[in-house]
Amino acid sequence: MWYRKRMTIKRLEDGCVTSIWKGTMKMIDICFEGEIPFYAPGRVYGFLQGELTFPRRRVSTHKLFWKNGAVCVAEEEQERFRAYHPGGTDYDLGGMILRVALPEGAYDFEVVCEGNQDSIAVSIAGMNPERIAQGGYWDAGKLVPVRNIAVWEGNVWRYSYVNAASYVDISLEPLHPDMVIGLREVHIRKHESEKNGAVPSIFILGDSTAKSYVFEEAPMSGWGQLFYRMVNPDNAKVVNYSNGGRSLRVMYQEGRFNDLLLSGQKGDFVLLQSGHNDERDRNEGEDPDGEHSRFGRGSTEEMYYGLLARHFLPAIRTMGMIPVLVTPVTRINAGCEDNAVFQNSFRKRDFPAVMRRVAAESNTLLLDLNQKSVEYFNEIGAAAARAMVMSLEPGETPGKTNGGSYANGNPGDHADGTHYKECLSRQYCRMAAEALCRARQEGNVDADGLWKCFTQEAAQAAETGDFSEIFPEVCQDTISGRGAYYRNQIEKMVQIGIFHKNQEGNFQPFAPCSRKEFREGIRQIWKLPESFTQDTGDAPFYKKDAAAIIYDAYVVRFGMGETNKPPYMTDYNGRNIDTADPNYDVNLPTGETMYYPLTPFEQVTDLGRMSEEELRKLEAVYRLGLMRCEGGIARGSLANGTCFLPDSLVTREKAAKYLYFCFVLGQNIIKENHCTD
């Protein structure tokens, strides 16, 4: 017969055990003596055969044994360990699971083990034991540090965790077969956070469509990185915990969500968005990163619902914070025809609908960006929509992606209709503000609280629909139609003061750009001396003239040596291939692409009508990748073309394209790319 173990409970107030679980508990100390307990309803703690994770993990309690004052286990199944490797998503090393009845709240856990970090993986409530032990930053710009880390001191493991259930499961797994590991003691304390009395925080937790991007990734952007432009810093601060590849499961398992909760305080807002990576299940249940994988990204609609309704929302409210659900924006086919009609892209698993259901059932504020994104794309038309997502032509940006450089177009010949440029981030922020305004007008108390964090200008814009004061860089004649092709570059150049709109709010993208205006633009972008702007001639301004100006500016800004090139031109991350490398493939069709032009200068066909000096500068600019062929190119592919078009007039939209490339090239690669300084 099994007997319950002795559990010593230390507390600050007298009272029976039942009253302790109602909120007066301050500390729990569990040690083991004699028999090994199983968990059962009504018991305070005990070992059990499975934890309620996605998917459920099971262990064999009959393998537990008593040794040297610890409850121990050793796993003999070699197959378990063949599947394991650090960073893997689908493995289960067995071990033991201890369940402790515990009220909702934040706690500091101390687990005293038989063994150490070289032999045991310890986690709480199904979290990833490897990920919660890693420090660093949650964001690409390194502005949001990891504050809460699982640490080992000898045989003692410590971690702080926000519990949103009536119990918590503590898991110990052996890292090697036939190795005896064990649990000696568990100490649980109420977590005491420091309340700094600062203004409330607006936390944003989402995936790559909400994250804050850095210049290395330009022009990719997320709506979360521009949300601050509507918030009064005296009323609230915006902290973006979003990052690429995150689903609800990953946000939870890696400790990102838990860290956010422990970093906040009562009255803070949490804007929660997810859905794109939750779709992960490409092989109908066999995806190693899908819904069946222990630490995978994928979810069924039922799993997604359960995570939202039974963990995320309760945990946020447990900490006195206010949840706001944000439906994931739709994807588009970045290669669609001009007459395309857009629909919600979540067809197989409608996570936006699940989120709406959870919001309605839990009386949670909802900002429906999914529906509004579909409506907006249909409003502006397919051509304008394609220009706002990550569908690129050669020469738009020197930025990079995981698959290579964007400088020659989309790596892998694949246009990206999921991710998008900064010009679309502005519109998603507008949609969120307008949705918040409607919810407030309908009497939603949480909407009213978030509304009070806005600037007066943003509040007025949301009420009137006129966001010209919030995003003055948006031009009326680049929203749809042909004028929208270089919308992202145009808005950035207007934002930083290189170009200006006319009194009607138009940019006039097809009007000619002057030589003086272009030279002054590159001078400001690269912070060159005022003497650089000398050419005031009114002669027609051609692309070969722009190349000469960029060459002169580059020499002043960077010189012509190999040691002072901008990072994008170098092998700074170990992935670039230089033109001198024998593996440089000028016909590279797929896979990683490199910064430098794929078409060799010797194959450019239309350079016969230039002076020797013009040709010298143009060749230098081309070989540096600062300007590229534009005849025969296409967005969304690696088609580099062979026609430079040196005698084509430089319009204002083309000038914005060339200057935007140079703007990104001169920036710190790890600085957030919405910055304008």
Q: Three-state SS string across 169-190, please? A: EEEEEECCCCCCEEEEEEEEEE
Measured CA to CA, the distance from residue 519 to residue 244 in angstroms comes to: 37
Output the pLDDT for position 8. 40
Q: Do 211 and 419 touch, CB atoms closer than 8 A?
A: no
pLDDT (tens digit, 9 = 90+) per residue, 271-296?
A: 999 999 999 876 666 778 889 899 99
Q: Do 417 and 333 touch, CB atoms closer than 8 A?
A: yes
Residue 89 has pLDDT above 50, yes or no: yes
* For range 294-312, the mean pLDDT: 95
Output the pLDDT for position 342. 97
Q: Lowest-pLDDT range, 44-58, 425-439, 564-578?
A: 564-578
Comparing 593 with 550, the larger pLDDT belongs to: 550
Comparing 413 with 41, the larger pLDDT belongs to: 41
Q: Do 249 and 299 touch, CB atoms closer than 8 A?
A: yes
Nearest Cα residue to 673 out of 332, 483, 406, 411: 406
State the virtual CA torsion across 32, 37, 41, 43 in degrees, nearest 10: -30
Q: What's the 3-state SS for 464-531?
A: HCCCCCCCCCCCHHHCCCHHHCCHHHHHHHHHCCCCCCCCCCCCCCCCECCHHHHHHHHHHHCCCCHH
**Percent of the chain beyond pLDDT 70?**
92
Output the pLDDT for position 15. 28
Q: Do 321 and 268 touch, CB atoms closer than 8 A?
A: yes
Residue type, 538: D
Measured CA to CA, the distance from residue 415 to residue 604 in angstroms comes to: 25
Residue 3 has pLDDT above 60, yes or no: no
Output the pLDDT for position 281. 77
- CB neighbours (10 Å) of residue 283? 10
**Percent of the chain beyond pLDDT 90?**
77
In the chain, domain spans:
7-190, 201-464, 486-665
Confidence of residue 244 (pLDDT cuts 50, 70, 90): very high
- Strands 389-390 and 400-401, by their bridges, are unpaired
Give the relative orientation of helices 515-525 and 543-558 as an angle to the nearest 10 degrees.
30
Report DSSP state, residue 573: T
pLDDT (tens digit, 9 = 90+) per residue, 500-538?
A: 999 999 999 999 999 999 999 999 999 999 988 776 677
Output the pLDDT for position 26. 66
Phi then psi dihedrals of residue 114, to 5 deg: -95, 95
* For range 241-269, the mean pLDDT: 97
Comparing 374 with 578, the larger pLDDT belongs to: 374
Measured CA to CA, the distance from residue 553 to residue 335 in angstroms comes to: 36
Length of the chain: 677
Write down the residue that tokens 């990206």 correspond to.
416
Residue 168 has pLDDT above 90, yes or no: yes
Output the pLDDT for position 576. 57
Judged by phi (left if over 0) then psi (alpha if -120 to 50, else beta), residue 363 lies in left
DSSP string, 201-222: EEEEE--TTTSPPBGGGTTEE-
Output the pLDDT for position 2. 29
Output the pLDDT for position 640. 87
The CATH number corresponding to 201-464 among 3.40.470.10, 1.10.540.10, 2.160.10.10, 3.40.50.1110 equals 3.40.50.1110
Write down the residue that tokens 């286990």 correspond to.
73
At a CB cut-off of 8 Å and minimum separation 6, what does 96 contact? 47, 59, 61, 64, 71, 73, 171, 172, 183
CATH number of 7-190: 2.60.120
Residue 24 has pLDDT above 90, yes or no: no
At a CB cut-off of 8 Å and minimum separation 6, what does 468 contact? 461, 474, 505
Report DSSP state, residue 131: G
Q: Do 652 and 508 touch, CB atoms closer than 8 A?
A: yes
Output the pLDDT for position 17. 31
At a CB cut-off of 8 Å and minimum separation 6, what does 131 contact? 253, 254, 255, 295
State the virtual CA torsion across 514, 520, 521, 524 in degrees, nearest 10: 180
Measured CA to CA, the distance from residue 204 to residue 570 in angstroms comes to: 34
Phi then psi dihedrals of residue 105, to 5 deg: 150, 180
Nearest Cα residue to 32 out of 5, 9, 10, 8: 5
Nearest Cα residue to 275 out of 249, 237, 236: 249
At a CB cut-off of 8 Å and minimum separation 6, what does 349 contact? 278, 279, 299, 300, 301, 304
Could you give the C-alpha distances from 414 to 29, 127, 420, 575, 591, in angstroms and in order? 57, 35, 14, 19, 10
Output the pLDDT for position 582. 59
* For range 381-392, the mean pLDDT: 97
At a CB cut-off of 8 Å and minimum separation 6, what does 450 contact? 202, 269, 322, 324, 365, 436
Residue 107 has pLDDT above 60, yes or no: yes
Q: What angle do CA 432, 434, 435 make, to 5 degrees?
A: 65
Q: Where are the alpha helices (DSSP H) in 321-413?
A: 351-362, 369-380, 382-388
What is the token pair recorded at 434? 């307008």
- Strands 237-240 and 201-205, by their bridges, are parallel
Output the pLDDT for position 121. 97
pLDDT (tens digit, 9 = 90+) per residue, 667-676?
A: 999 999 998 7
- CB neighbours (10 Å) of residue 460? 15
Phi then psi dihedrals of residue 555, to 5 deg: -60, -40
Q: Lowest-pLDDT range, 301-310, 371-380, 395-404, 654-663?
A: 395-404
Query: For the whole model, what pTM was predicted?
Result: 0.93
Nearest Cα residue to 191 out of 354, 421, 336, 27: 27
* For range 461-472, the mean pLDDT: 97
Measured CA to CA, the distance from residue 595 to residue 579 in angstroms comes to: 10
* For range 607-613, the mean pLDDT: 92
448 alpha carbon, distance to own chain's centre: 27
Comparing 414 with 279, the larger pLDDT belongs to: 279
State the virtual CA torsion across 124, 126, 130, 134 in degrees, nearest 10: -60
Confidence of residue 54 (pLDDT cuts 50, 70, 90): confident
Tally DSSP H helices, then E strands, for the chain. 17, 24
Residue 5 has pLDDT above 50, yes or no: no
Output the pLDDT for position 592. 61
